[in-house]
Structure 1
Amino acid sequence: MALLDMVAAERRRFADLIESLTPEQLASPSLCGAWTVHEVSAHVVAPFAGRPSWFLPLILRSRLSLHRANAELARRIAQRPAADLAAELRRNERNPFSPPVVGLFGQLTDLQVHRQDIRRPLGLPPDLDPERVRTALDFVVGRRSLGFGSRRLRAGLRFVATDLDWAAGDGPEVRGSAEALLMALTGRRVALPELTGEGAELLRDRSVRVRT
């Protein structure tokens, strides 16, 4: 499957998830700091829903912090109903939006990780597609994965998925489901207890000290 086809499929699945949630679920905390589930959904839609005239004032008000500007943008877009956000994703499912450096691989990974940022705290089971999560894992352990976890976190370790044919790295092994590995490698500490192997304790120790 071509990369844009994978991204389009993940956008459709994200839209399906948003539409399936109750108002209470949308207002629940996500795994993304102080963001609610609704705000995470808004963040995913932001490349298509944000107005160009918003960006410079947001950056200036955020003292040139892209992180703070993104957070404010997500809160602003989250004022729209979830159904609108889902419709926006579907309208743009084949939009070739490609962030600098990380490109469409970053988009594919972002969609999968943020869907789990929503599903995990809501008690919903993981639902990752094997081919697409394998592609995301290859990207996360590669050199272009700027902003998707610290290289110091994974250095000198070998990661092995227990539910699909994927492994990467050299050193003490860290074993777990592909979903748990993806979440841990992108800085989600909630997945760390699910990992095993002689390298798992080292990864847990690093996660406390390394800012992802």
Structure 2
Amino acid sequence: MTSDWQTVHRERRALAEDLASLSTQEWATASLCEGWDVHDVVAHLTGSARTTRRRFWLSLIRAGFSFDRANAREVAAERAPTPAETLLRFESTITSTTAPPGPLITRLIEIVVHGEDIRRPLGLRRPATPLELRDTLAYVAQDRLSGGKKRLNGLRLAATDGGFTVGSGQTVQGPALSLLLAASGRTAALQDLRGPGLALLQGRLGA
């Protein structure tokens, strides 16, 4: 199933609903994104959903072509003084179809992965539809920019809840969502995985 904006909007809406139930202390919880708390990740998602191609390139140029500096500026700009205000900003982007350069499937990868960056440290769960993640895994496995291709080279990912595989080589199996998170560099998802290729993947993630 190929990503479309309706799917992206559904995932944004589901995350907004989860965020609405959080306390101020929970917004300050460290996310799976190193150096960012929940509040920072929501600010990043808001900025990304507002970023046009032109704005993306201008921001990157001003940051000296450093993605880290560009992201830090984006978070600072979109992080409001209170979580409630930041949530309102995020909610205003739920149905946005504005996007930085890249195929549409990267929008689905972003909201699903960052959604889990927020939910997992808080003990929240949102079951993803496994077949909707098949194309996201295939994309990440070939993506040099995100490091996915390097992480997954020589590995065969088998989704135990989706009945599909991606790649070839030593097998790593587990839930499709956990496979996507590990493919995106999240070591927290490794505990859900198993198979002869797991040790290789753990080594590549520095776990």
* TM-score bin, normalised by smaller chain: 0.7 to 0.9
What residue number does 1:32 align with? 33
What residue number does 1:186 align with? 184
What residue number does 2:197 align with? 199
Structure 1 residue 197 displacement after superposition: 0.8
User: What amino acid sits opposite 1:96 in the alignment?
Assistant: T
What residue number does 1:97 align with? 98
What residue number does 1:46 align with? 47
Q: Percent identity?
A: 34
Task: Please give the secondary structure, in 2, of the residue aligned with 1:121.
Answer: helix
- Kept in 1, the 8 Å contact 2:80–2:86? The answer is no
CA distance in 2, matches of 1:59, 1:123: 38
Superimposed CA distance per residue, residues 46-83 of structure 1 (whole angstroms, 9 cap, x where no aligned partner): 135679999958854x4441222212321332124333
Structure 1 residue 155 displacement after superposition: 0.9
The alignment covers a number of residue pairs equal to 205
What residue number does 2:140 align with? 140
- Kept in 1, the 8 Å contact 2:59–2:70? The answer is no
Structure 1 residue 4 displacement after superposition: 1.1
Compared CA separation, residues 19 and 169, structure 1 to 2 (3 A)? same
CA distance in 2, matches of 1:200, 1:76: 39
Compared CA separation, residues 150 and 165, structure 1 to 2 (3 A)? same
The residue correspondences of 1:60-79 to structure 2 (distance < 5 A) are 60=62, 62-79=63-80
What residue number does 1:12 align with? 13
CA distance in 2, matches of 1:117, 1:139: 19
Structure 1 residue 21 displacement after superposition: 1.1
Q: Over aligned residues, Cα RMSD in angstroms?
A: 2.8
Superimposed CA distance per residue, residues 91-132 of structure 1 (whole angstroms, 9 cap, x where no aligned partner): 33332223213x221111100000100111112234323343
Compared CA separation, residues 73 and 59, structure 1 to 2 (3 A)? farther
What residue number does 2:116 align with? 116
Structure 1 residue 152 displacement after superposition: 1.6
Greater shift in the superposed pair: 72-81 or 4-13: 72-81
What residue number does 2:173 align with? 175
User: What amino acid sits opposite 1:124 in the alignment?
Assistant: L
User: What amino acid sits opposite 2:155 in the alignment?
Assistant: L
CA distance in 1, matches of 2:122, 2:18: 12
Task: Please give the secondary structure, in 1, of the residue aligned with 2:104.
Answer: helix
Compared CA separation, residues 161 and 57, structure 1 to 2 (3 A)? closer
Structure 1 residue 190 displacement after superposition: 1.7
CA distance in 2, matches of 1:106, 1:137: 11
- Kept in 2, the 8 Å contact 1:15–1:85? The answer is no
> Which runs of 5 or more residues in structure 2 are unaligned?
none
Structure 1 residue 140 displacement after superposition: 1.8
Q: Detail structure 1 runs of 4+ shifted over 6 Å in the superposition.
A: 50-55
Superimposed CA distance per residue, residues 152-195 of structure 1 (whole angstroms, 9 cap, x where no aligned partner): 21111110011222211111110111121011000011222322
Task: Please give the secondary structure, in 1, of the residue aligned with 2:157.
Answer: strand
Residue among 160, 164, 167 paired with 1:166: 164
TM-score (norm 2): 0.85
Structure 1 residue 149 displacement after superposition: 3.3
- Kept in 2, the 8 Å contact 1:160–1:173? The answer is yes
